[in-house]
Structure 1
Amino acid sequence: MPSSKNTQFAVAVHVLTYLAGQVERGPVSSDELSASTNVNPVHVRRVLGPLREAGLVCSRPGVHGGWELATPAEEITLARVWRLLQGADPVLGLHGPNPDCPVGRGVQRSLAAIDGAVAEAVAAELERSTVQDILAREVQGACSVPGQA
Protein backbone atom coordinates (compact mmCIF):
# COMPACT_ATOMS: atom_id res chain seq x y z
CA MET A 1 0.00 0.00 0.00
CA PRO A 2 1.49 3.38 -0.96
CA SER A 3 2.18 5.83 1.81
CA SER A 4 1.96 9.60 1.84
CA LYS A 5 5.20 11.50 2.10
CA ASN A 6 3.40 14.37 3.82
CA THR A 7 2.42 13.28 7.31
CA GLN A 8 1.52 16.74 8.61
CA PHE A 9 -2.23 16.09 8.59
CA ALA A 10 -1.91 12.81 10.49
CA VAL A 11 0.51 14.35 12.99
CA ALA A 12 -1.84 17.34 13.45
CA VAL A 13 -4.86 15.11 14.13
CA HIS A 14 -2.78 13.02 16.54
CA VAL A 15 -1.54 16.11 18.40
CA LEU A 16 -5.00 17.73 18.55
CA THR A 17 -6.54 14.48 19.81
CA TYR A 18 -3.79 14.12 22.42
CA LEU A 19 -4.33 17.70 23.59
CA ALA A 20 -8.09 17.15 23.71
CA GLY A 21 -7.50 14.25 26.10
CA GLN A 22 -5.25 16.39 28.32
CA VAL A 23 -7.51 19.45 28.76
CA GLU A 24 -7.83 18.99 32.52
CA ARG A 25 -4.08 18.54 32.95
CA GLY A 26 -2.96 21.74 31.27
CA PRO A 27 -0.19 22.51 28.80
CA VAL A 28 1.70 19.68 27.10
CA SER A 29 5.34 20.06 26.05
CA SER A 30 6.56 19.66 22.48
CA ASP A 31 8.77 16.82 23.74
CA GLU A 32 5.77 14.94 25.10
CA LEU A 33 3.86 15.48 21.86
CA SER A 34 6.94 14.35 19.96
CA ALA A 35 7.14 11.15 21.99
CA SER A 36 3.46 10.42 21.43
CA THR A 37 3.60 11.04 17.68
CA ASN A 38 7.04 9.44 17.27
CA VAL A 39 8.32 12.40 15.24
CA ASN A 40 10.95 15.06 15.88
CA PRO A 41 9.85 17.94 18.19
CA VAL A 42 10.77 20.40 15.42
CA HIS A 43 8.31 18.68 13.07
CA VAL A 44 5.63 18.83 15.78
CA ARG A 45 6.21 22.57 16.20
CA ARG A 46 6.07 23.08 12.40
CA VAL A 47 2.71 21.31 12.32
CA LEU A 48 1.46 23.31 15.31
CA GLY A 49 2.40 26.67 13.76
CA PRO A 50 -0.50 26.89 11.28
CA LEU A 51 -2.87 25.47 13.91
CA ARG A 52 -1.82 28.25 16.30
CA GLU A 53 -2.22 30.91 13.59
CA ALA A 54 -5.75 29.60 12.96
CA GLY A 55 -6.59 29.76 16.68
CA LEU A 56 -6.96 26.02 17.21
CA VAL A 57 -4.07 25.75 19.69
CA CYS A 58 -2.08 28.12 21.85
CA SER A 59 1.25 27.84 23.58
CA ARG A 60 2.63 29.11 26.86
CA PRO A 61 6.34 29.64 27.39
CA GLY A 62 8.19 28.63 30.51
CA VAL A 63 8.83 25.66 32.73
CA HIS A 64 5.14 24.85 33.11
CA GLY A 65 4.32 25.95 29.57
CA GLY A 66 3.43 23.95 26.52
CA TRP A 67 0.58 23.50 24.09
CA GLU A 68 -3.17 23.51 24.71
CA LEU A 69 -6.32 23.52 22.65
CA ALA A 70 -7.64 27.03 22.08
CA THR A 71 -10.84 25.79 20.42
CA PRO A 72 -13.08 23.05 21.84
CA ALA A 73 -12.36 19.65 20.25
CA GLU A 74 -15.97 19.27 19.12
CA GLU A 75 -15.62 22.45 17.03
CA ILE A 76 -12.47 21.36 15.17
CA THR A 77 -13.41 19.45 12.03
CA LEU A 78 -10.80 17.34 10.35
CA ALA A 79 -11.61 19.23 7.14
CA ARG A 80 -10.49 22.48 8.75
CA VAL A 81 -7.20 20.89 9.82
CA TRP A 82 -6.68 19.35 6.39
CA ARG A 83 -7.34 22.63 4.59
CA LEU A 84 -4.95 24.49 6.91
CA LEU A 85 -2.13 22.07 6.19
CA GLN A 86 -2.92 21.15 2.59
CA GLY A 87 -3.48 24.70 1.39
CA ALA A 88 -3.40 24.95 -2.39
CA ASP A 89 -1.01 21.99 -2.77
CA PRO A 90 -2.29 19.39 -5.22
CA VAL A 91 -3.64 16.20 -3.69
CA LEU A 92 -2.49 14.07 -6.62
CA GLY A 93 1.13 15.25 -6.68
CA LEU A 94 0.96 16.99 -10.05
CA HIS A 95 4.18 17.73 -11.90
CA GLY A 96 5.18 20.49 -14.29
CA PRO A 97 5.34 19.06 -17.83
CA ASN A 98 7.29 20.57 -20.69
CA PRO A 99 5.28 23.70 -21.59
CA ASP A 100 6.00 23.07 -25.29
CA CYS A 101 4.37 19.63 -25.20
CA PRO A 102 0.67 19.75 -26.14
CA VAL A 103 0.05 16.35 -24.54
CA GLY A 104 1.65 17.50 -21.29
CA ARG A 105 -0.43 20.70 -21.23
CA GLY A 106 -3.62 18.74 -21.86
CA VAL A 107 -2.84 16.11 -19.28
CA GLN A 108 -1.92 18.81 -16.75
CA ARG A 109 -5.24 20.66 -17.28
CA SER A 110 -7.22 17.42 -16.98
CA LEU A 111 -5.39 16.28 -13.87
CA ALA A 112 -5.71 19.72 -12.27
CA ALA A 113 -9.49 19.56 -12.74
CA ILE A 114 -9.60 16.04 -11.28
CA ASP A 115 -7.33 17.15 -8.43
CA GLY A 116 -9.80 19.91 -7.51
CA ALA A 117 -12.66 17.41 -7.42
CA VAL A 118 -10.59 14.99 -5.30
CA ALA A 119 -9.69 17.79 -2.87
CA GLU A 120 -13.37 18.70 -2.48
CA ALA A 121 -14.33 15.05 -1.93
CA VAL A 122 -11.62 14.65 0.73
CA ALA A 123 -12.75 17.84 2.47
CA ALA A 124 -16.41 16.74 2.35
CA GLU A 125 -15.56 13.42 4.00
CA LEU A 126 -13.35 15.05 6.63
CA GLU A 127 -16.09 17.58 7.42
CA ARG A 128 -18.04 14.70 8.96
CA SER A 129 -15.55 14.15 11.81
CA THR A 130 -14.19 16.33 14.60
CA VAL A 131 -11.23 15.95 16.89
CA GLN A 132 -13.73 15.05 19.62
CA ASP A 133 -15.02 12.18 17.43
CA ILE A 134 -11.47 10.86 17.05
CA LEU A 135 -10.86 11.17 20.79
CA ALA A 136 -14.08 9.29 21.53
CA ARG A 137 -13.09 6.48 19.13
CA GLU A 138 -9.55 6.37 20.56
CA VAL A 139 -10.78 6.18 24.15
CA GLN A 140 -13.40 3.61 23.23
CA GLY A 141 -10.77 1.52 21.41
CA ALA A 142 -8.34 1.77 24.32
CA CYS A 143 -10.91 0.18 26.60
CA SER A 144 -11.53 -2.85 24.43
CA VAL A 145 -9.60 -6.07 24.90
CA PRO A 146 -8.50 -7.85 21.70
CA GLY A 147 -10.40 -11.06 21.17
CA GLN A 148 -13.34 -10.05 23.37
CA ALA A 149 -16.62 -8.59 22.19
Structure 2
Amino acid sequence: MAASSRMTVAIHALTWMALTCPRRPGGVVTSDKIAASVNTNPVVIRRILGGLREAGLVVSVRGQGAGVKLGRPPESITLKDVYEAVEPEPLIALHSTLPSQECPVGVGLPPVLQGVYGRAEGAMKEELATITIADVLKKTLAAA
Protein backbone atom coordinates (compact mmCIF):
# COMPACT_ATOMS: atom_id res chain seq x y z
CA MET A 1 0.00 0.00 0.00
CA ALA A 2 1.52 3.30 -1.09
CA ALA A 3 1.27 6.41 1.04
CA SER A 4 -0.87 9.23 -0.31
CA SER A 5 0.87 12.34 -1.60
CA ARG A 6 -2.35 14.36 -2.05
CA MET A 7 -1.62 16.55 0.95
CA THR A 8 1.94 17.28 -0.15
CA VAL A 9 0.74 18.19 -3.64
CA ALA A 10 -2.05 20.36 -2.18
CA ILE A 11 0.38 22.18 0.12
CA HIS A 12 2.76 22.72 -2.81
CA ALA A 13 -0.08 24.12 -4.93
CA LEU A 14 -1.37 26.45 -2.21
CA THR A 15 2.12 27.64 -1.28
CA TRP A 16 2.94 28.33 -4.94
CA MET A 17 -0.36 30.18 -5.27
CA ALA A 18 0.44 32.25 -2.17
CA LEU A 19 3.69 33.27 -3.83
CA THR A 20 2.37 33.73 -7.36
CA CYS A 21 -1.24 34.92 -7.14
CA PRO A 22 -0.48 38.42 -5.80
CA ARG A 23 1.59 39.01 -8.96
CA ARG A 24 -1.19 37.95 -11.37
CA PRO A 25 -4.23 39.91 -12.58
CA GLY A 26 -7.06 39.11 -10.20
CA GLY A 27 -4.80 36.65 -8.37
CA VAL A 28 -5.81 33.90 -10.81
CA VAL A 29 -3.59 31.02 -11.92
CA THR A 30 -4.26 27.97 -14.09
CA SER A 31 -3.96 24.31 -13.19
CA ASP A 32 -1.36 24.01 -15.97
CA LYS A 33 0.88 26.57 -14.23
CA ILE A 34 0.46 24.86 -10.85
CA ALA A 35 1.18 21.47 -12.44
CA ALA A 36 4.41 22.82 -13.94
CA SER A 37 5.60 23.83 -10.47
CA VAL A 38 4.60 20.50 -8.91
CA ASN A 39 5.95 18.62 -11.95
CA THR A 40 2.83 16.57 -12.41
CA ASN A 41 -0.08 16.26 -14.82
CA PRO A 42 -2.67 19.09 -14.69
CA VAL A 43 -5.39 16.44 -14.22
CA VAL A 44 -3.82 15.53 -10.85
CA ILE A 45 -3.88 19.19 -9.87
CA ARG A 46 -7.51 19.62 -10.98
CA ARG A 47 -8.58 16.65 -8.83
CA ILE A 48 -6.85 18.11 -5.79
CA LEU A 49 -8.22 21.58 -6.52
CA GLY A 50 -11.71 20.04 -6.39
CA GLY A 51 -11.30 19.11 -2.73
CA LEU A 52 -9.67 22.44 -1.94
CA ARG A 53 -12.55 24.24 -3.68
CA GLU A 54 -15.20 22.31 -1.71
CA ALA A 55 -13.41 23.35 1.49
CA GLY A 56 -13.32 27.00 0.41
CA LEU A 57 -9.53 27.09 0.25
CA VAL A 58 -9.54 28.01 -3.45
CA VAL A 59 -12.14 29.66 -5.66
CA SER A 60 -12.75 28.98 -9.36
CA VAL A 61 -12.82 31.91 -11.73
CA ARG A 62 -14.70 31.41 -14.99
CA GLY A 63 -14.64 33.25 -18.31
CA GLN A 64 -11.80 35.40 -19.63
CA GLY A 65 -8.72 34.75 -17.49
CA ALA A 66 -10.23 31.58 -16.01
CA GLY A 67 -8.41 29.58 -13.35
CA VAL A 68 -8.27 29.44 -9.58
CA LYS A 69 -7.27 31.77 -6.79
CA LEU A 70 -6.88 31.44 -3.06
CA GLY A 71 -10.21 31.42 -1.28
CA ARG A 72 -8.71 32.82 1.93
CA PRO A 73 -5.52 34.62 2.88
CA PRO A 74 -2.56 32.22 3.25
CA GLU A 75 -2.28 33.26 6.92
CA SER A 76 -5.70 31.74 7.58
CA ILE A 77 -5.23 28.40 5.78
CA THR A 78 -3.81 25.79 8.15
CA LEU A 79 -2.29 22.49 7.16
CA LYS A 80 -5.15 20.89 9.10
CA ASP A 81 -7.58 22.62 6.70
CA VAL A 82 -5.62 21.20 3.77
CA TYR A 83 -5.47 17.70 5.28
CA GLU A 84 -9.21 17.62 5.88
CA ALA A 85 -9.88 18.88 2.35
CA VAL A 86 -7.80 16.33 0.44
CA GLU A 87 -7.48 13.23 2.61
CA PRO A 88 -10.89 11.54 2.73
CA GLU A 89 -9.69 8.41 4.46
CA PRO A 90 -8.46 8.11 8.05
CA LEU A 91 -4.72 8.22 8.64
CA ILE A 92 -4.64 4.53 9.59
CA ALA A 93 -7.58 2.30 8.73
CA LEU A 94 -8.83 -0.92 10.23
CA HIS A 95 -8.85 -4.04 8.07
CA SER A 96 -11.51 -3.83 5.38
CA THR A 97 -13.17 -7.10 6.40
CA LEU A 98 -14.62 -7.93 9.78
CA PRO A 99 -12.33 -10.25 11.75
CA SER A 100 -13.62 -13.53 13.12
CA GLN A 101 -16.21 -12.80 15.76
CA GLU A 102 -15.45 -16.19 17.32
CA CYS A 103 -11.91 -15.09 18.18
CA PRO A 104 -11.36 -12.92 21.28
CA VAL A 105 -8.70 -10.90 19.41
CA GLY A 106 -11.00 -10.49 16.41
CA VAL A 107 -13.77 -9.16 18.66
CA GLY A 108 -11.65 -7.01 20.99
CA LEU A 109 -8.93 -5.56 18.78
CA PRO A 110 -10.93 -3.22 16.46
CA PRO A 111 -12.31 -0.98 19.23
CA VAL A 112 -8.88 -0.80 20.89
CA LEU A 113 -7.20 0.19 17.64
CA GLN A 114 -9.95 2.70 16.77
CA GLY A 115 -9.17 4.53 20.00
CA VAL A 116 -5.40 4.46 19.45
CA TYR A 117 -5.67 5.52 15.81
CA GLY A 118 -8.18 8.26 16.64
CA ARG A 119 -5.88 9.74 19.29
CA ALA A 120 -2.88 9.57 16.94
CA GLU A 121 -4.79 11.33 14.16
CA GLY A 122 -6.08 13.89 16.65
CA ALA A 123 -2.52 14.69 17.76
CA MET A 124 -1.42 15.05 14.15
CA LYS A 125 -4.32 17.41 13.39
CA GLU A 126 -3.47 19.50 16.46
CA GLU A 127 0.06 19.97 15.13
CA LEU A 128 -1.14 20.69 11.58
CA ALA A 129 -3.50 23.36 12.97
CA THR A 130 -0.48 25.36 14.20
CA ILE A 131 1.07 25.81 10.74
CA THR A 132 -0.34 27.99 7.95
CA ILE A 133 0.37 28.19 4.24
CA ALA A 134 1.99 31.59 4.95
CA ASP A 135 4.35 29.84 7.43
CA VAL A 136 5.21 27.19 4.83
CA LEU A 137 5.89 29.86 2.20
CA LYS A 138 8.16 31.82 4.54
CA LYS A 139 10.17 28.72 5.52
CA THR A 140 10.30 27.50 1.91
CA LEU A 141 11.72 30.78 0.65
CA ALA A 142 14.24 30.85 3.50
CA ALA A 143 15.35 27.29 2.65
CA ALA A 144 15.70 28.11 -1.07
TM-score higher than 0.5: yes
Partner of 1:141: 143
Q: Structure 1: give runs of 5+ residues left out of the alignment.
A: 143-149
More helix per residue: 2
Task: Give a deviation string over 1:42-87, Cα, whole Å, max 9, x none.
Answer: 2211111121112110122346221210100000011111122234
Select between 74-83 and 52-61 the one with higher mean Cα deviation: 52-61
Residue 128 of structure 1: which of 130, 133, 136 is its match?
130
Which residue among 17, 20, 30 is the counterpart of 1:19?
17
**Aligned pairs, number:** 139
- CA distance, structure 2, for counterparts of residue 102 and residue 74 of structure 1: 49
Letter in 1 for 2:12: H
State the Cα deviation string for residues 3-37 of structure 1 (Å, max 9, x = none): 95211111111111010001221321111111211
Match of 2:43 in 1: 42
User: For 2:59, what is the secondary structure of its paired residue?
Assistant: strand
Give 3-state SS (helix, strand or coil) of 1:22's partner.
Answer: helix
Gaps of 5+ in 2: none
Deviation at 1:118, TM superposition (A): 0.8
Query: TM-score, normalising length from structure 1?
Result: 0.83
Distance (whole Å) between structure 1 residues aligned to residue 28 and residue 44 of structure 2: 18
Distance 2:135 2:106 in 1: 42
What TM-score comes out, normalization by structure 2 length? 0.86
Cα drift, residue 98 of structure 1: 2.4
How many angstroms apart in 1 are the aligned matches of 2:4 and 2:68? 22
Quote the residue 2:121 is aligned against: 119
Deviation at 1:40, TM superposition (A): 2.2
Residues 33-42 or 107-116, more deviating: 33-42
Matches within 5 A, 1:1-149: 5-24=3-22, 25=24, 26-62=27-63, 64-87=65-88, 89-96=89-96, 97-100=98-101, 101-142=103-144
**Separation in 2, partners of 1:44, 1:99:** 41
Distance 1:61 1:12, change over 3 A: same
